[in-house]
Amino acid sequence: MKQHITRTLIFTGMMLAALAPSGLSAAEPEDVIKYRKNMMQAIGGHTSAAGAIVQGKVDYTPHLAEHARALQVLTKDIPALFPKDSDFGDTEAMDVVWTKRADFEKAAKTAKIRVAAFAKAVQSGNPQAITASFKDMGEACKGCHKDFRKEEK
């Protein structure tokens, strides 16, 4: 039995090794753009849900920490969602994302910092800090959209 398990593991390892080169190939730019749009929609969804809680429109306060954590994960590395050669087709990103990359990365870092501050405020449970940090986070998001996102259709 032990020998059978060993052979199975060796065979599985060999199959994975054989398949690895195809799995490591670069993603198609169109797929990157779709992924990016889904990530941004997820950020928007969590932000909207958190906003409804912060503004007292819904009573899901226990969910606020989960939304804050999700936003931290989703905004961890926004610039990575905008790699070279993903600046065409069905994208809402403006050309300046790539031509003024340092500015874009600075704006993304500001958003990340503001999201972290919001998460910390949520952990504190202080309603005033939560409200203020949510507003600051929203301003960072709006600023990035203003400078780096095409006008909504």
**The domain that contains 42 carries what CATH number?**
1.20.120.10
Residues of the chain with confidence (pLDDT) below 70: 1-26, 152-153
- Residue 129 CA to residue 135 CA, distance in Å, equals 10
The answer to the question of residue 136 being in a domain is yes
**What is the per-residue pLDDT for 16?**
41
Residues whose CB is less than 8 angstroms from the CB of residue 123 and which lie 6 or more positions away in sequence, other chains included: 65, 68
Domain count, the chain: 1
Looking at residue 3, its pLDDT comes to 53
Domain-located, residue 17: no
Examine residue 97 and state whether it is found in any structural domain, yes or no: yes
CA distances from 85 to 28, 88, 109, 140 (A): 9, 8, 22, 26
- pLDDT at residue 13 in the model: 43
Within a domain: 72: yes
Which pLDDT value is given to residue 66?
98
7 belongs to a structural domain: no
In a domain, 123, yes or no: yes
Nearest-angstrom CA–CA distance, 51 and 22: 42
Domain membership flag for residue 41: yes
Q: Containing domain of residue 100, as a range? A: 28-148
> What gap in Å lies between CA 102 and CA 144, rounded to an integer?
13
CA 83, 46, 150, 141 torsion: positive or negative?
Answer: negative
Output the pLDDT for position 151. 80
The per-residue pLDDT for 29 is: 87
Q: Is 119 contained in some domain?
A: yes
